[in-house]
Each structure stands twice: as structure tokens, then as C-alpha cells.
């Protein structure tokens, strides 16, 4: 096998191909960001937010205002939940967090608290509760492996209510989906 020296024309063509491919991938990246970050306005009980567009909005339960799930997620569908929970006016965020821990422990399989701490979310004081649980399809005929799900609740005190913003995602997707959740968190006003 003899090797031929690359001609100048070949070199320019090669550079042109690389430039066109990078340009296409960059355009694809911006298009992807536009699609993923698209949102629809949501408002209820004086709380407004920009909910992700194209996500399945399930019927909210009890004091939930919004429950949106990304059906495109692999494993457990990434879910945002917005709640407006009535609490005693003197109740503190850590007390609300304890209540949430009890609720989760009753409802979720293998629930474990990972961390809880006071945080500042876009200039607002909040209390962050991070946890993990296992989600399994209750249908015994399903053969897939149960998903390990990571969750984060952000508790905001709002007079006689606590606004709770929940993010739950498959353990594999949690970090990747976090930036989209931050956009949702930033959009919430009450």
C-alpha cells in the first residue's frame, strides 16, 4: 500500500467538511435547547410558573397545583410538582420538611433522606430536602428493573402556606435534568 500526499484541495475540502459538521451540530444544539426549554405559562392560587412544554400534565392530587412529567425520559419520567400546602403561620420550613419526610416515607418505597439544609434560591430563602427512593411498576407481569429515583423538595414559606417545588428524576438523569429544573424554579413567582 503506497500513501499519496494530501493535496491542497483535499485539505481545504477536509476543513470545509469539519466546519460544516460543527456548524450543523451547533445548530442542532441550539435547536435542542430551544425545544427542551420551551414552556407554557401556568397559574393557580396566586402562584405562577413556566411549565415545560410538551410534558404530560397529570391530574394534581390533594394540595398539588401542578404535576408535569417528561415522557421522553428513560426509566422514571422526570417530574416537577408544585404544591401549596396550608400550614400554621408559626410553622418553620424545617418543620414542613419533617412533615414531608413522613409523607414520603409512607408513600415511597425504600425512601431515604440524603440531606436537608437552608438555601437561597434566586434571592429567596428556602429549605432544601434531598432524598432517594425506588420506583417500581406495581404490575407483576412487568419484567423491568425498578428505577432508583432522586428527588429534591424546595420549601418556601408564604404566610399560612408553604410553597413546595419538587424535582424527581431517575438517578441516571438527575444531574442532566437539573439545569432545566432550575429554569422552572426561577420562573415561579408568588
Partner 1 sequence: MTGVFLAIVPAAIWLVFFYLQDRAEPEPKGFVLGVFALGALLAAGVGIPLVNNVFRTSHWIYTDTLTTILGGILVVGFTQEFLKYAAVRYSIYNSGEFDEPTDGVIYATAAGLGYATVLNIQFVVSNGGVDLGAGVIRIAVVALAQAAFSGITGYFLGRAKFESEQIWWMPLGITLAAIFNGIFNWLQGIVTQPRITLSGTTTNTWMGLVLASAVALATTGLILWLVRRNLKSMQAGK
Residues contributing to the site for partner 1 (CB under 8 A): 1-6, 9-10, 12-14, 16-17, 19-21, 24-25, 27-29, 31-32, 35-36, 54, 70, 72-74, 176
Phi first, then psi, for residue 170 (nearest 5°) are -55, 140
Nearest partner of 161 among 95, 88, 98, judged by Cα: 88
Nearest partner of 82 among 99, 105, 97, 61, judged by Cα: 61
Closer residue to partner 1, CB minimum distance, 36 or 103? 36
Q: What's the CA gap between 109 and 132, in Å, rounded? A: 9
Closer residue to partner 1, CB minimum distance, 19 or 44? 19
Minimum gap (Å) between residue 17 Cβ and partner 1: 5
Please check whether residue 187 is in contact with residue 49, taking contact to mean a CB–CB distance below 8 angstroms. yes
Minimum gap (Å) between residue 43 Cβ and partner 1: 24
Closer residue to partner 1, CB minimum distance, 29 or 122? 29
Minimum gap (Å) between residue 151 Cβ and partner 1: 19
Closer residue to partner 1, CB minimum distance, 65 or 178? 178
Contact partners, residue 122, CB within 8 Å, separation at least 6: 185, 186
Please check whether residue 164 is in contact with residue 85, taking contact to mean a CB–CB distance below 8 angstroms. yes
Q: What's the CA gap between 79 and 42, in Å, rounded? A: 16
Minimum gap (Å) between residue 31 Cβ and partner 1: 6
Residue 84: all three cell numbers together: 401549596
Minimum gap (Å) between residue 73 Cβ and partner 1: 7
Closer residue to partner 1, CB minimum distance, 114 or 176? 176
Amino acid at each position: 500500500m503506497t500513501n499519496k500526499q494530501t493535496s491542497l484541495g483535499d485539505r481545504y475540502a477536509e476543513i470545509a467538511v469539519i466546519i460544516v459538521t460543527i456548524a450543523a451540530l451547533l445548530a442542532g444544539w441550539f435547536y435542542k435547547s430551544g425545544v427542551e426549554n420551551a414552556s407554557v405559562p401556568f397559574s393557580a392560587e396566586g402562584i405562577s410558573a413556566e411549565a415545560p412544554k410538551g410534558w404530560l400534565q397529570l391530574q394534581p392530587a390533594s394540595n398539588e397545583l401542578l404535576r408535569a412529567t417528561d415522557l421522553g425520559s428513560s426509566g422514571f419520567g422526570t417530574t416537577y410538582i408544585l404544591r401549596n400546602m396550608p400550614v400554621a403561620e408559626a410553622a418553620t420550613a424545617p418543620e414542613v420538611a419533617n412533615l414531608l419526610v413522613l409523607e414520603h416515607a409512607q408513600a415511597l418505597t425504600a425512601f431515604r433522606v440524603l440531606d436537608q439544609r437552608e438555601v437561597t434560591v434566586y434571592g429567596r430563602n428556602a429549605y432544601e430536602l434531598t432524598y432517594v427512593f425506588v420506583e417500581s411498576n406495581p404490575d407483576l407481569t412487568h419484567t423491568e428493573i425498578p428505577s432508583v429515583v432522586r428527588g429534591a423538595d424546595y420549601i418556601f414559606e408564604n404566610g399560612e402556606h408553604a410553597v413546595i417545588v419538587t424535582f424527581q428524576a431517575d438517578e441516571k438523569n438527575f444531574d442532566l435534568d437539573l439545569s432545566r429544573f432550575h429554569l422552572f424554579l426561577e420562573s415561579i413567582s408568588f
